[in-house]
Structure 1
Amino acid sequence: MILIADSGSSKTDWRVIHRDRRISQHRGVGFNPYYQTSQEMAEEMRHDFLVNLESEIEEIFYYGAGCSAPQRNQEVADALRTIFPEAKINVDHDLSAAAHATCGHQPGIACILGTGSNSCDYDGIRIIDTRPAPGFILGDQGGGGYIGRQFLMDFINDEMPADIKEEVIEKYKLDAITIQEHVYRQPFPNRYMASFCRFISEHKSNPYCYMLYYNAFQDFFDKHIKKYKCYEEKPVSFVGSIAYYNSDILRKASADANIHVNIILESPIAGLTLYHQELL
């Protein structure tokens, strides 16, 4: 049996391909070795879905945020090995998952717009170029944390429409002290900031909320897509909740930037499942 994981900072999609080609699935919390130790990840992984499969899984293909360096990949592998000591474990970057799921065996640019953001230029076989992805403090343009951070900055500085601010206060009991507590003292500030994207999406008919997304997507294009050679000639695909649930704004922003959008998926897990079924 094969276990596949597609993990971002907020959630992980797990799929099991059984020997009879039957598929079972589960959604759990996200992981990122830049923000969690192996022990912390292992503790989060020890839920019934995985523990009950301990003796049956033969090989694991884990694609995750933060898995771009050998040391970080080893930390994820160590966490998985506490549950599956006998399984063969493969840890790869979430960009590989995005490329396999959206481009298949064709060249293109694959992008992630979820809690964070990232991109790569893919030749149909391998990733041939990437852009720096320094995380939610120094990067993540177009991602949920980036958009949520701007939203919270506007809240603190009274730079959002009064009716939006009043509704935010009423719904979340929000104030500057609460924001600073979550951002500077609580774990996973990127998840906290990204959590406000649900509210922003629900109000994207408001020009202010619409432009939060539009401008963040343009920032992503400037820092990522436009840095790739001949980007105007290549299909550009996206995975991630921010891209998927705001695809109307993303397509408009892309057209304005002369970027050809191909596929927009909420998650690459279905494409990865098909990809790895060939191994059975």
Structure 2
Amino acid sequence: MQIIADSGSSKTDWRLILVDGSIQQHRGVGFNPTYQSSEEMTKLLKDDFLLNIGQDVEIIHYYGAGCSSEGMKSQVEASLKTIFDHAEIFIEHDLLAAARATCGREPGIACILGTGSNSCDYDGIEIIHSTPAPGYVLGDEGGGTYIGKKFLQDFIHQEMPVDIYKRVKEELSLDYNEIIDRVYKQPFAGRYMASFCRFISKYKSDPYCYLLFYNAFQDFFKKYIFKYPDWQIKQVNFVGSIAFYNSDILRNAAAEAGIHVNLILESPIAGLTLYHKQ
């Protein structure tokens, strides 16, 4: 049997393909070797679903955020080997997951808009070009952390509409000291900032919340899409919760930018499962 895993900074989708072709699935915590050590990832992998099948898995196709270098891939492989010590393990970047899930074996541009953001130009076989994605401190335009950061800045400086500000105080009980502690002292600051996108999506009919998404998507296009050759004639695909749950805004922003959007998926795992079953 084989496992296909798609792991972002917030969650991991696991698909187990049994010998008879049937599929089991599980969702667990996310991993990112950019921010976590092998030891930290190994602790998080102690999941009953994974422990119970560890000795039966023969092949693992793992696609993960942060797996862009051999060093990062080795770090993830070392963690997986603690459970799947008999398996042959293939580690790939989550960008290739997005490309294979949305484009299959056809060329196109594949983008990730989840907690973070990324993109690539794909020729149907491999990634031929990608733009640097320096993470939530220096980048992640269009991703949840980027949007949440702007939201928190506006809250701190009281630069959001009064009615939205009141709702934030009432529904989220936010205060300045808590924000500073969570962003600068606690782990997973990116996840924390991205978590506010649920609130923003809830009120996206409000012009302020709508524009938080819309402007972030336009920033993403400028930093990434517009830098690929012939982007005007290529189909552009998206995966990730920010893209999926705000697809109406994303399609509007893309149309005004002259971008041809094809698929928008919450997660690439179904497409990856089909890709590997074929």
Matched, 1:196 2:199: no
Q: Please state if 1:106 is matched with 2:106.
A: yes
How many Å separate the matches in 1 of 2:268 and 2:245?
Answer: 15
Match of 2:56 in 1: 56
Counterpart residue number, 2:231: 231
Partner of 1:255: 255
Amino acid at match of 1:123: D
**2:15 aligned with 1:47, yes or no?**
no
Show CA shifts across 1:15-49 (max 9, x none). Answer: 00000001000001100001100011011011100
CA RMSD of aligned residues (A): 0.5
Q: Distance in 2 between matches of 1:205 and 1:17?
A: 41
What is the distance in 2 between the residues matched to 1:74 and 1:32? 12
Whole-Å Cα distance in 2 between the matches of residues 156 and 39 of structure 1?
36
SS in 1 for 2:137: coil
Match of 1:151 in 2: 151
1:210-243 CA distances to partner (integer Å, 9 max, x unpaired)? 0000000000000000000110010000000000
Instruction: State the number of aligned residues.
Output: 278
* Aligned 1:1-12 pairs, distance under 5 A: 1-12=1-12
Counterpart residue type for residue 169 of structure 1: K
Partner residue in 2 for 1:117: 117
CA distance in 2, matches of 1:27, 1:85: 21
Q: Which runs of 5+ in 2 are unaligned?
A: none
Q: 2:173 corresponds to which residue?
A: 173
Superposition pairs of residues 255-274 of structure 1, within 5 angstroms: 255-274=255-274
The secondary structure found in structure 2 opposite 1:183 is: helix
State whether structure 2 residue 125 is matched by structure 1 residue 142. Answer: no
CA shift for structure 1 position 54: 1.1
What is the CA–CA distance in structure 1 between the aligned matches of 2:52 and 2:29, rounded to whole Å? 18
Percent identity (aligned): 64
Q: For residues 131 and 224 of structure 2, what CA distance do their matches in structure 1 show?
A: 6
Q: TM-score, normalised by structure 2?
A: 0.99
Aligned to 2:221: 221
2:161 corresponding residue in structure 1: 161
Which residue identity lines up with residue 97 of structure 1 in the other structure?
A: A
For residue 52 of structure 1, give the secondary structure of its aligned residue in structure 2.
Answer: helix
Residues in 2 aligned to 1:229 and 1:240: alpha-carbon distance in whole angstroms = 24
- Give 1:136 deviation, angstroms: 0.3
The CA distance in 1 between the partners of 2:62 and 2:190, in whole Å, is 22
Residue in structure 1 matched with residue 69 of structure 2 by the alignment = 69
Q: What is the rounded CA distance, in whole Å, between the counterparts of 1:256 and 1:208 in structure 2?
A: 19
The alignment's TM-score, normalised by the length of structure 1, stands at 0.99
Tell me the amino acid that sits aligned with residue 98 of structure 1.
A
Q: Who is 1:14 aligned against?
A: 14
Distance 1:238 1:36 in 2: 26
Partner Cα separation in structure 1 for residue 277 and residue 235 of structure 2: 26
Distance apart, 1:57 and its partner CA: 0.2
Distance 1:24 1:161 in 2: 46
Q: Match of 1:78, as an amino acid?
A: A
Query: 1:204 & 1:8 partners in 2: Cα distance?
Result: 25
- The Cα shift of 1:135 comes to 0.3
**Using the alignment, how far apart are the partners of 1:180 and 1:116 within structure 2?**
20
Deviation at 1:172, TM superposition (A): 1.7
Partners of 1:128 and 1:55 lie apart in 2 by 36
1:11 Cα deviation (Å)? 0.5
